[in-house]
């Protein structure tokens, strides 16, 4: 097996500069990073350190100011806008801090929606949505709208929605920031379980110390630079 195939992302001297009028912010200052597939990685660092900027680049939502970025063996800088949108749609799922669910749709419909956009037939949609809602423990609440669900339940719907299209990579920017610590820990545990089950790669940002303990790779970033990359033993959910 070519070792190249196991690479999720390779960043080479990636910088990001925000220019607002005369003010220039160097949010990322020469990031060199290689991430393997099927890992649960955390980007940690204080507020303003560049976590969101780095996640947006990894998620192909934003592009570097300079440097090279390869995701799933695809040189991202070589894609035009349509190709990039297509690449995102096929390969990446997103989970947001504020869940970003559609208020008028039920839990079921929220999870189904991206599959409709991917032109997946109704029967297969039904099978996938039911399976994934079951995995996240929400079968009984599938006909409820977001306003009728707790924050933790809404984040479960968001996780199910991201997983339903079976992406290679799921990104989440501080996914537990709007949850209490107990619910946040439950959500991380659920994501670990889903990562193990679906073999999706997960990359999260957080500045929550408690949440960090669950990672198997921690990338620490400070002032737009990588401070350290630590691979740790992940908490085992189902024995060794
Ligand atoms: N759209 C933007 N325009 C100008 N500056 C920005 C923008 N987004 C982020 N920044 C600046 O870039 C730096 C990194 O921000 P960010 O990536 O959001 O950090 P974090 O997510 O770790 O809090 C900060 O100094 C922030 O103020
Ligand atoms: Mg941020």
User: Is the shortest distance between the CB of 19 and ligand 1 below 6 Å?
Assistant: no
The ligand 1 atom at the shortest distance from the C-alpha of residue 205 is 21
Annotate the chain with DSSP letters as a single string.
Answer: --GGGGEEEEEEEEEEEEEETTEEEEEEEEEEEEEETT-EEEEE--TTSSHHHHHHHHTTSS--SEEEEEETTEEGGG--HHHHHHHHHHHEEEE-TT----TTS-HHHHHHHHHHHTT--HHHHHHHHHHHHHHTT-GGGTT--GGGS-HHHHHHHHHHHHHHT--SEEEEESTTTTS-HHHHHHHHHHHHHHHHHH--EEEEEE--HHHHTT-SEEEEEETTEEEEEEE-PPPPSS--
Share of the chain above pLDDT 70, in %: 94
Please name the residue that has the structure tokens 């440097």: 67
What is the end-to-end Cα distance of the chain in Å, rounded? Answer: 25
Residue ranges covered by each domain of the chain = 37-64+74-231
Least confident of 7-16, 36-45, 108-117, 205-214: 205-214
The pLDDT tens digits for 32-87 are 999 999 888 999 999 999 999 999 999 999 999 999 999 999 999 989 999 999 99
* Superfamily of domain covering 37-64+74-231: P-loop containing nucleotide triphosphate hydrolases (3.40.50.300)
User: Is the shortest distance between the CB of 27 and ligand 1 below 6 Å?
Assistant: yes
Cα 224 to ligand 1 centre (Å):
9
Cα 144 to ligand 1 centre (Å):
36
pLDDT of residue 236: 47
Task: Compute φ and ψ for 226, nearest 5 degrees.
Answer: -75, 125
Among 31, 52, 61, 221, which is best to mutate for testing ligand 1, by the most ligand atoms less than 8 A from CB?
A: 52
pTM of the model: 0.90
Residue 228 has pLDDT above 50, yes or no: yes
Report which bound ligand comes closest to the CA of 51: 1
Residue 235 has pLDDT above 70, yes or no: no
Report which bound ligand comes closest to the CA of 221: 1
In terms of pLDDT, which residue wins out, 227 or 193?
Answer: 227
User: Is the shortest distance between the CB of 93 and ligand 1 below 6 Å?
Assistant: no
Please name the residue that has the structure tokens 């096929």: 90
pLDDT band at 1; cut points 50, 70, 90: very low
The ligand 1 atom at the shortest distance from the C-alpha of residue 224 is 14
Among 21, 24, 48, which is best to mutate for testing ligand 1, by the most ligand atoms less than 8 A from CB?
A: 48
Cα 221 to ligand 1 centre (Å):
13
């Amino acid at each position: 097996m070519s070792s190249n195939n196991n690479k999720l992302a390779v960043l080479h001297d990636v910088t990001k500069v925000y220019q607002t009028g005369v003010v220039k912010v160097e949010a990322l200052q020469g990031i060199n990073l290689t991430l393997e597939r099927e890992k649960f990685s955390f980007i940690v660092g204080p507020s303003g350190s560049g976590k969101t900027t780095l996640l947006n680049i990894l998620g192909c939502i934003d592009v570097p100011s300079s440097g090279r970025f390869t995701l799933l063996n695809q040189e991202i800088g070589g894609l035009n806008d349509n190709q990039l949108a297509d690449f995102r749609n096929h390969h990446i799922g997103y989970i947001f801090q504020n869940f970003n669910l559609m208020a008028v749709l039920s839990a079921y419909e929220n999870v189904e929606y991206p599959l409709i956009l991917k032109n997946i037939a109704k029967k297969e949609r039904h099978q996938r949505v039911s399976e994934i809602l079951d995995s996240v423990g929400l079968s009984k609440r599938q006909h409820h709208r977001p306003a009728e669900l707790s924050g933790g339940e809404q984040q479960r719907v968001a996780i199910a929605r991201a997983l339903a299209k079976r992406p290679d990579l799921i990104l989440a920017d501080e996914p537990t920031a709007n949850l209490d610590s107990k619910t946040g820990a439950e959500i991380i545990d659920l994501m670990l379980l889903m990562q193990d089950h679906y073999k999706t790669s997960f990359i999260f940002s957080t500045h929550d110390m408690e949440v960090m303990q669950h990672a198997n790779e921690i990338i620490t970033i400070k002032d737009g630079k990588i401070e350290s990359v630590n691979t740790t033993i992940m908490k085992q959910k189902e024995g060794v």
